[in-house]
Structures are given as C-alpha cells and as structure tokens.
C-alpha cells in the first residue's frame, strides 16, 4: 500500500526450514503411510506454491493411532507428574531452539506475517509447554481433590488460523495431566504439527503418547466417533461443534468446544481517538481478521463517528499488504481459496445490502489468496456483515447515541462462526471432579 515512508524489502530467509517432499502420518512414534495410500498437497497461501505432499488419514489410520495412544496410556499415566514435566520442559526448550525455523514454516503454510509467527505465536507456544510442565506435579492442588486421575485417550481437532498455538493449547495440558493424544490438524496447515511430531521424537517422548493424523474432515469425524476415545477437544466452527455434540451425545466422552464469535469494540465520545484506532486495527486486522474474538464490529458514539472514521481510514492506508515473509508486512494472505471465497461473498453481500464499502488503495499480488483490509460504514444490525462472522479483514462500523443503546448490539450473538482465538488462556488441568481432562 502507499506510504509516506517506503521500506526496503526485509524478507526472512526460507533456508532456515527444510520441508521434505512428502510426510507420513505420525503413529506410535513413527512416520507411516496412510493405510489406503492416499495423499494430498499443502500449498502456501501467499503464492499457491505446493510445499509438500502429506498422507491423508482414513478410519483405519484413526484406529491405529487410537490403539497406539491406548497402549501408551498405561505407562504414561503411571509416571509421576515430575517425570512427565521433564518431557514437557524438553519440548518447550526445543521449541525455543527451533523457533525461527517454526515461525518461517508457519508463515509459509498459513500465510500470516512473519512478525506475527515470530513475535506472537512461537513465544506463546513455548510458554504454554513451560506453563503446563509446571502444573504436572501440582495437580493435587488444582482444586479437584487429591490424586486426580487422567481420562485416557484425547482426540483433538484443531483449526488453521493458529496451527501450532492451537496444538500447544490442546497437547500441553493433556500430557501434563497424564493423558495420551491423537491430534488432527487442519488440512490446509498440516506442516507445523508434523514438525512438532519430530520435536516429540527429539525430546524422547515415549512412543504412542502423541500421534498426529493429517487429513480431511472425515478423519476428524472418525476420531471424534471412535469408541476408545475418552475426551474430544475441538476448536473450529459452530456448525462442526454442533455436529460433534450430536455425535457424542449418549456416550460417556468428555468434550470441550471452542467455537467462533462476532466481537465488538465500543468507542465513546471521550475516548482518545488515536489510541482507539490502534486498538481497532489490532482487534480486526491481526492475523487477517482470522480470529474468533476479532473485533469485527465497531460501535462508535454518533458524535465522534466522522472524526474516528477519518482517522481509521488514514491508519489503514499505512498498512502494508504483501509477502508474509517480509518483516515489514502487516497484512498477509488469506489461508485458503475456500476462505477467500467466503470472505468475498460476505463482503459483496454487505455492499449489495446498502452498506458503504471502503478499502485503501493497494495492489494485490497476482498469485495467492489476498483480500484488502476493508471497512463498512452505514451498517445496521440488519446487515449480514453485522451479524455473520466473516473471519477475514473486514470491519463493520455501527453508531449509537447512548450507552444503553450500545449494549444490546455489543452483546448480541452472531448466527454463524468459523474458527478460534489465540487470546484466551485455557484452564490448567481438569474439568470434572477428581479426573484430569486435556483441554
């Protein structure tokens, strides 16, 4: 985008990460082909370059992985917490040592700017493993009684917007509390989970404690429905969350669901405008708006609407969209062609319904999946862009006159949702009385 100050390109080197031409499933401590031999390709959203070919798990592979996790559970759950902590500490330290490599990998496979993966995602990933390592020998003091027991095998399904961070949220508490894991990453971002499998081997984690299955929704469904899975942990869309709830109804499986949202920022007439604008930009354009708690709705007190909107437009004109590996980039690529199509369709609907659409002047790259930062003004609660989660760099601006008038739309629920948030910190250990539950 145009800027008063032009920066020389500052791309992070791709040479720090070595991506193999193909990867297998990680089951019982080894990489292995899918039972039916199926594979799929993972591409870089910023260039549509094929990064690697990945094994596509099916029901037979899910069964193998769950059996491996069940076999490993007996010894892993019997370890003292202090011993499990040692493995988690090792994993955390290896993540720190390989953080530059993992940040570049995540940017290539996900499309988000390197400064986000480098400065936000990877430090948080390591911090979560350090944090839960500290909990592993203190579970008696977590508020669930003396000697809380692990649940067993945790089936975990994670989304594409924060692939490695969502993995950390799921796996770290599961291992700390003595459970074993079968995890399925999103099909558009499988690589960081596979690199994590290598970290597990590097840390000497016993075979079968962590298993990684790459694949599509059918693999996730088979994992959720497997009769020997004791706990289902899912982050993703509300629609899939409802389907999971239906599929496990009537079973004794535990479940946690972290679904989408339609967050609102409220700006009153006494707010410092420049500071408010910075909060608004970070709230909706961080990670291209692909965050479930993104501030995708902006409620502005009517008397300052024009002033704030002018300031916000000036600020958006300074954001830099382009190569995610460039350290100057603020807005990276949308994760997939499918997600780009959804964002585009909802934005077009907003315009067709009469909302006023604006984007700063910018040239989108010719290859890859790109969407310019966009805001809609003259929006009402009746507009689709005010109700539906877009899950992209799109902001809807509404006005109000009094605080009481702002409260109902700010707290209202959206109709649909898409993925997850990196902002909330999961609870340390357990959900049910005297039983340890992986988040």
Cα Rg of the chain, angstroms? 22
Which conformational region is residue 181 in: left (phi greater than 0), alpha (psi within -120 to 50 degrees), or beta?
beta
Question: End-to-end distance of the chain based on CA atoms, in angstroms?
Answer: 41
CB 183 within 8 A of CB 212: yes
CB 274 within 8 A of CB 241: no
Assess whether 436 carries a catalytic annotation.
Answer: no
Q: Give alpha helix (H) positions in 154-272.
A: 163-176, 191-202, 217-225, 238-248
- Which position among 116, 187, 258, 389 bears the catalytic label? 258
- Which position among 12, 187, 292, 389 bears the catalytic label? 292
Q: In what order do the strands lie in the sheet with 22-23?
A: 22-23, 50-55, 39-43
Assess whether 200 carries a catalytic annotation.
Answer: no
CB 178 within 8 A of CB 74: no
CB 159 within 8 A of CB 195: no
State the residue for tokens 């003396």. 146
Tokens of 395: 């902001």
Tokens of 44: 């870089």
Residues forming beta bridges with residue 299, ordered by sequence position: 266, 398
Give the active site residues: 258, 292
């Amino acid at each position: 985008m145009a800027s008063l100050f032009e920066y020389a390109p500052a791309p992070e080197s791709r040479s720090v990460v070595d991506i193999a031409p193909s990867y297998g499933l990680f089951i019982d401590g080894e990489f292995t082909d899918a039972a039916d031999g199926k594979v799929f390709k993972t591409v870089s959203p910023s260039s549509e370059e094929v990064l690697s070919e990945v094994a596509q798990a099916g029901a037979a592979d899910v069964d193998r992985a769950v059996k491996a996790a069940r076999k490993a559970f007996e010894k892993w759950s019997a370890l003292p917490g202090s011993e499990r902590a040692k493995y988690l500490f090792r994993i955390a330290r290896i993540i720190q040592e390989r953080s530059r490599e993992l940040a570049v990998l995540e940017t290539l496979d996900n499309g988000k700017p390197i400064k986000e993966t480098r400065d936000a995602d990877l430090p948080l990933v390591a911090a979560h493993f350090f944090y839960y390592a500290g909990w592993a020998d203190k579970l008696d003091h977590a508020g669930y009684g003396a000697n809380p027991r692990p649940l067993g095998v945790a089936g975990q399904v994670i989304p594409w917007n924060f692939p490695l961070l969502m993995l950390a949220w799921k796996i770290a508490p599961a291992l700390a509390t003595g459970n074993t894991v079968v995890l399925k990453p999103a099909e558009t971002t499988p690589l960081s989970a596979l690199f994590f499998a290598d970290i597990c081997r590097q840390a000497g984690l016993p075979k079968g404690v962590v298993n990684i299955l790459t694949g599509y929704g059918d693999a996730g469904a088979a994992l959720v429905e497997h009769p020997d899975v004791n706990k289902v942990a899912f982050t993703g869309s509300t629609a899939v969350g409802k389907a999971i709830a239906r599929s496990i109804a009537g079973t004794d499986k535990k479940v946690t669901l972290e679904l989408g949202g339609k967050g609102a920022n409220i700006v009153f007439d006494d707010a410092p405008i420049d500071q408010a604008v910075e909060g608004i930009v970070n709230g909706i354009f961080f990670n291209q708006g692909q965050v479930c708690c993104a501030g995708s709705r902006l409620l502005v007190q009517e008397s300052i609407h024009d002033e704030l909107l002018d300031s916000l437009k000036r600020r958006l004109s300074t954001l830099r969209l382009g190569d995610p590996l460039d350290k100057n980039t603020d807005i990276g690529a949308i994760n997939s062609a499918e997600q780009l199509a959804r964002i585009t369709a909802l934005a077009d609907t907003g315009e067709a319904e009469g909302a006023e659409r604006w984007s700063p002047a910018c040239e989108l790259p010719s290859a890859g999946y790109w969407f310019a930062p966009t805001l809609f003004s003259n929006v009402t609660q009746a507009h689709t862009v005010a109700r539906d989660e877009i899950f992209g760099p799109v902001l809807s601006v509404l006005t109000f006159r009094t605080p009481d008038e702002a409260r109902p739309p700010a707290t209202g629920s959206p109709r649909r949702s898409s993925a997850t948030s990196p902002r909330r910190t999961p609870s340390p250990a357990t959900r049910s009385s005297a039983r340890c539950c992986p988040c």
